[in-house]
């Protein structure tokens, strides 16, 4: 018990010391801000929204620039896909010439012209630097192209072998030409065109196999039924790709494809193929040469259609990229305009207030010098206008008093009267009225009381002005909310989803800050013991804190873990500040290379540990633990002192007020706050708060 008494006495002494230091610091800060020139105070008011706008401008510019870089990556992907398709088309052309050369020994000049073109496209893909294409000549069999060509030139490779090699290579290259994710917002306007060209590439490949097999049969007149049996699966796959094209292509592409299907050599080509597989027998409609010609024209028409789609995709991508870049520039210009507009508005308001106060000061100096009839008209109906009216009233009263005193007559008075200046008409009139004023003391006391009352009203107006000036903190917040709303309304098509989310968070933060300012102003007018309490949901408090610290949590890859927390009686604004400071400290004082891990838990407090008897209300024991740098246990009490810092300022930023404020908040709620930990092993902050209790005032 003696030890417990000593601990309680020590804590009381520490709490009293902290309280005294807090009061002393508050008094010093109050004196400091009171001594600041009015211009400096007004500039401080305007500095906060300017900082927010500068941050917003930088953040939006970063967002837009990152989006453009991502767009450039997709452009590179599309260009590379075009190169792969070009290589596939070149290999199919070479397959056509090689197959014909293996059968008829013809088309040698065309084959020799095609091979260098194919090689140049292979070299271009090898120089692309894309990790996905590293070693592609090996696993796509393109590394065996030289050997196949030698076999074709020496007629040691059979036509079927030629068709097998080139077709398999084309099939493998098609697997490299994948589509980006369907939910890519940038490519949404051209995504169906990308799918269409991909499907057309497959259709051209399978059509080449079918027409080559038919040509082989027509030329050799052998293995007709066997060839049809072996090719029927290829025909089915081709038809499935054609059905997919009809289902996924845009209406414009469907119209173009139907015209192609009915108005080019593709019509007789597909018609003859469908007839063959329907009858399962060859007829005399085409000779080998005639079939090779008409099917080649049909395939060429299909390739031209695919190339037209690629041209459309490239032009559309360039258009989308330019549009996105223009949107970024417009957004940046709008933000800069907003920044300069706020700067100009703040500067102009500061100038107007300063000029008004200068006019009031000059008028007061003239009246203080004894001058009357000073022209001073109220320019507004606010605190400055009321102050001007009060000073003008004093001036009018002085003039009326001087005129009344001069009219009363001359007299003798015991107290000497010294004019304040040569223009002090009132003093000169009073000198002439000394004797007469002796008989009018009561009347003069009434006049003095009247002037005192007017001076009191003037002082009240000055206090009202100070209160209104503090309320002007809300105006910059309203402007932030307004300009953010303008961005959402006017630039919502240009902003990314992430950008819209940031604007929504700015609006929410502005609203919460306005509520906090209102709460602080209300709190400043409530005497001690008059602050209302309510049941506070700590889960909602933590969600708000995590939302406020979302950027730091993401940047540090932090993890915050907590189970369902209870409701406690308290003041929401103060409890949110408590958990904000503790979690923000845990994010700040992190160990190098270790993502922050913050755990919040609660359990019933041990009555003996908190010094409570059984008949007093129960307490809850909250713990906020982290895996940060920790602290020396000997500094556990000192860290809660005002402006106390345990770490160098150049390593960890902060004012040294956060934990002192936390301590005061907990004590205001009838609880206690202390910390445990060790250097390099993290820290745990213990919060003791009343469990339920009645909602009261503190």
90 vs 524, higher pLDDT: 90
Q: Check pLDDT > 50 for residue 463.
A: no
d(Cα 92, Cα 581) in Å, to the nearest integer?
A: 68
**DSSP result, 223-285:** SHHHHHHHHHHHHHHHHHHHHHHHHHS-HHHHHHHHHHHHHSTHHHHHHHHHHHHHHTS--SS
Q: Check pLDDT > 50 for residue 643.
A: yes
Give the sign of the dihedral formed by CA 548, CA 551, CA 555, CA 561: positive
Domain locations in the chain as residue ranges = 1-35, 61-332, 369-472, 532-698
Give the sign of the dihedral formed by CA 43, CA 46, CA 48, CA 52: negative
Position 227 confidence tier, pLDDT thresholds 50, 70, 90: confident
3-state SS assignment for residue 52:
helix
C-alpha to C-alpha distances, 559 to 95, 343, 542, 590, 678, nearest whole angstrom: 58, 39, 13, 12, 21
3-state SS assignment for residue 573:
helix
Position 622 confidence tier, pLDDT thresholds 50, 70, 90: very high
d(Cα 184, Cα 317) in Å, to the nearest integer?
A: 13
Position 347 confidence tier, pLDDT thresholds 50, 70, 90: confident
Cβ atoms of residues 641 and 21 within 8 Å: yes
Query: Which has the minimum average pLDDT: 168-172, 189-193, 279-283, 511-515?
Result: 511-515
d(Cα 287, Cα 176) in Å, to the nearest integer?
A: 37
Give the per-residue pLDDT at 694. 44
Position 226 confidence tier, pLDDT thresholds 50, 70, 90: confident
Average pLDDT on 156-177 reads 83
Position 383 confidence tier, pLDDT thresholds 50, 70, 90: low
The per-residue pLDDT for range 546-579, each reduced to its tens digit, is 998 998 899 889 999 998 999 999 888 889 989 9
Q: Check pLDDT > 90 for residue 268.
A: yes
Give the per-residue pLDDT at 405. 59
Query: Which has the minimum average pLDDT: 289-293, 474-478, 687-691?
Result: 474-478
Query: Which has the minimum average pLDDT: 294-303, 379-388, 667-676?
Result: 379-388
Cβ atoms of residues 169 and 91 within 8 Å: yes
Position 469 confidence tier, pLDDT thresholds 50, 70, 90: very low
Largest separation between any pair of C-alpha atoms in the chain: 149
Give the per-residue pLDDT at 698. 47
Q: Check pLDDT > 70 for residue 65.
A: yes
Q: What is the mean pLDDT of the chain?
A: 77
Q: Check pLDDT > 60 for residue 612.
A: no
Q: Check pLDDT > 70 for residue 601.
A: yes
Encoded tokens for 53? 């706008």
Give the per-residue pLDDT at 116. 93
12 vs 135, higher pLDDT: 135
d(Cα 233, Cα 210) in Å, to the nearest integer?
A: 10
Task: Please list the residues that pair with 623 across neighbouring strands.
Answer: 601, 686
**Alpha carbons within 13 A on the beta-carbon side of 33:** 12
DSSP 556: T
Give the per-residue pLDDT at 432. 63
Query: What is the per-residue burial (b if ≥16 Cβ within 10 Å, else e) of 646-676?
Result: beeeeeeeeeeebbbbbbbbbebbbbbbbbe
**First CA to last CA distance, the chain:** 30
Position 85 confidence tier, pLDDT thresholds 50, 70, 90: confident
Position 269 confidence tier, pLDDT thresholds 50, 70, 90: very high
Find, among 325, 387, 329, the residue nearest to 356 by Cα.
387
Dihedral through CA 399, CA 402, CA 405, CA 407, nearest 10? -70
CA 37 from centre of chain: 36
Residue in the block written with tokens 């024209």? 297
**pTM reported for the whole predicted model:** 0.43
Give the per-residue pLDDT at 596. 92
Encoded tokens for 559? 């993890």
C-alpha to C-alpha distances, 614 to 622, 689, 695, nearest whole angstrom: 20, 16, 21
Cβ atoms of residues 85 and 121 within 8 Å: no
The per-residue pLDDT for range 306-319, each reduced to its tens digit, is 888 888 888 887 88
Cβ atoms of residues 689 and 619 within 8 Å: yes
Q: Check pLDDT > 50 for residue 519.
A: no
685 vs 316, higher pLDDT: 685
Give the per-residue pLDDT at 602. 92
Encoded tokens for 447? 């006049």
Position 411 confidence tier, pLDDT thresholds 50, 70, 90: low
**Alpha carbons within 13 A on the beta-carbon side of 147:** 6
Q: Check pLDDT > 90 for residue 222.
A: no
Number of H helices, E strands in the chain: 22, 7
36 vs 303, higher pLDDT: 303
Cβ atoms of residues 656 and 645 within 8 Å: yes
Span 532-698 CATH architecture: 2-Layer Sandwich (3.30)
Q: Cβ–Cβ contacts within 10 Å for residue 113, how many?
A: 12
Average pLDDT on 278-283 reads 86
CB proximity list for 111: less than 8 A, separation 6 or greater: 94, 97, 98, 101
**Residues of the chain above pLDDT 70, percent:** 73
Average pLDDT on 110-116 reads 90
Query: Best-predicted range by mean pLDDT among 220-224, 411-415, 447-451?
Result: 220-224
Cβ atoms of residues 401 and 377 within 8 Å: no
**Tally of residues, the chain:** 698
Q: Check pLDDT > 60 for residue 69.
A: yes
3-state SS assignment for residue 362:
helix
The per-residue pLDDT for range 645-678, each reduced to its tens digit, is 777 665 666 666 778 888 888 888 888 999 998 8
CA 129 from centre of chain: 33
**Residues of the chain above pLDDT 90, percent:** 12
Position 613 confidence tier, pLDDT thresholds 50, 70, 90: very low
């Amino acid at each position: 018990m003696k030890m417990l008494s000593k601990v309680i006495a020590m804590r009381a002494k520490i709490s009293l010391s902290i309280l005294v230091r807090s009061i002393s610091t508050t008094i010093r800060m109050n004196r400091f801000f009171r001594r600041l020139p009015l211009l400096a105070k007004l500039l401080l008011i305007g500095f906060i929204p300017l900082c927010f706008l500068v941050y917003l401008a930088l953040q939006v510019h970063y967002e837009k620039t990152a989006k453009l870089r991502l767009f450039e990556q997709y452009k590179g992907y599309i260009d590379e896909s075009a190169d792969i398709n070009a290589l596939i088309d070149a290999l199919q052309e070479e397959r056509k010439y090689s197959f014909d050369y293996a059968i008829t020994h013809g088309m040698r000049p065309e084959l020799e012209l095609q091979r260098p073109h194919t090689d140049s496209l292979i070299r271009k893909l090898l120089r692309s630097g894309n990790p996905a294409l590293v070693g592609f000549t090996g696993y796509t069999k393109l590394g065996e192209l030289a050997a196949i060509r030698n076999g074709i030139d020496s007629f040691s490779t059979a036509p079927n072998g030629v068709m097998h090699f080139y077709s398999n290579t084309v099939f493998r290259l098609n697997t490299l030409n994948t589509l980006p994710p369907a939910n890519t917002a940038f490519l949404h306007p051209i995504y169906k065109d990308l799918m269409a060209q991909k499907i057309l590439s497959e259709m051209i490949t399978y059509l080449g196999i079918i027409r080559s097999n038919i040509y082989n049969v027509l030329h050799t007149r052998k293995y007709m039924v066997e060839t049809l049996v072996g090719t029927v699966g290829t025909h089915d796959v081709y038809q499935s790709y054609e059905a997919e094209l009809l289902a996924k292509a845009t209406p414009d592409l469907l119209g173009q494809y139907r015209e192609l299907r009915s108005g080019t050599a593709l019509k007789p080509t597909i018609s003859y193929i469908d007839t063959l597989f329907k009858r399962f027998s060859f007829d005399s409609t085409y000779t080998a040469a005639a079939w090779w010609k008409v099917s080649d024209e049909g395939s060429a028409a299909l390739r031209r259609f695919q190339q037209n789609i690629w041209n459309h995709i490239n032009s559309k991508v360039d258009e989308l990229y330019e549009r996105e870049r223009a949107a970024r520039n417009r957004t940046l210009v709008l933000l800069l305009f907003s920044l300069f507009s706020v700067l100009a508005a703040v500067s102009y308001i500061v100038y107007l207030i300063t000029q008004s106060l200068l006019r009031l000061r000059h008028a007061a100096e003239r009246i203080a010098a004894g001058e009357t009839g000073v022209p001073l008209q109220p320019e507004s109906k606010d605190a400055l206008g009321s102050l001007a009216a009060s000073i003008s009233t004093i001036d009018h009263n002085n003039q009326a008093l001087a005129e009344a005193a001069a009219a009363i007559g001359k007299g003798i008075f015991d107290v000497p009267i010294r004019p304040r200046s040569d223009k002090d008409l009132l003093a000169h009139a009073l000198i002439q009225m000394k004797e007469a004023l002796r008989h009018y003391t009561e009347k003069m006391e009434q006049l003095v009381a009247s002037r005192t009352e007017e001076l009191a009203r003037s002082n009240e107006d000055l206090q009202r002005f100070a209160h209104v000036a503090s309320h002007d903190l809300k105006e910059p917040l309203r402007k932030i909310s307004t300009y953010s709303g303008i961005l959402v309304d006017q630039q919502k098509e240009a902003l990314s989803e992430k950008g819209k989310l940031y604007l929504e968070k700015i609006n929410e933060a502005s609203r919460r800050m306005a509520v906090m300012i209102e709460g602080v102003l209300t709190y400043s007018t409530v005497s001690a013991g008059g602050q209302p309490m309510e049941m506070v949901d700590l889960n909602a408090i933590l969600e708000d804190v995590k939302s406020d610290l979302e950027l730091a949590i993401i940047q540090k890859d932090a993890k915050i873990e907590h189970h369902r927390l209870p409701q406690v009686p308290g003041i929401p604004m103060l409890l949110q500040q408590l958990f904000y400071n503790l979690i923000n400290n845990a994010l700040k004082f992190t160990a190098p290379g270790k993502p922050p891990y913050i755990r919040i838990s609660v359990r019933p407090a041990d009555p003996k540990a908190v010094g409570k008897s059984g008949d007093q209300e129960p307490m809850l024991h909250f713990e906020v633990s982290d895996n940060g740098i920790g602290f020396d246990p000997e500094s556990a009490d000192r860290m809660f002192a005002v402006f106390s810092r345990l770490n160098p300022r150049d390593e960890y930023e902060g004012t040294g007020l956060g934990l002192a404020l936390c301590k005061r908040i907990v004590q205001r709620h009838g609880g206690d706050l202390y910390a445990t930990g060790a250097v390099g092993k993290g820290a745990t902050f213990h919060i003791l708060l009343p469990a339920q209790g009645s909602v009261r005032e503190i």
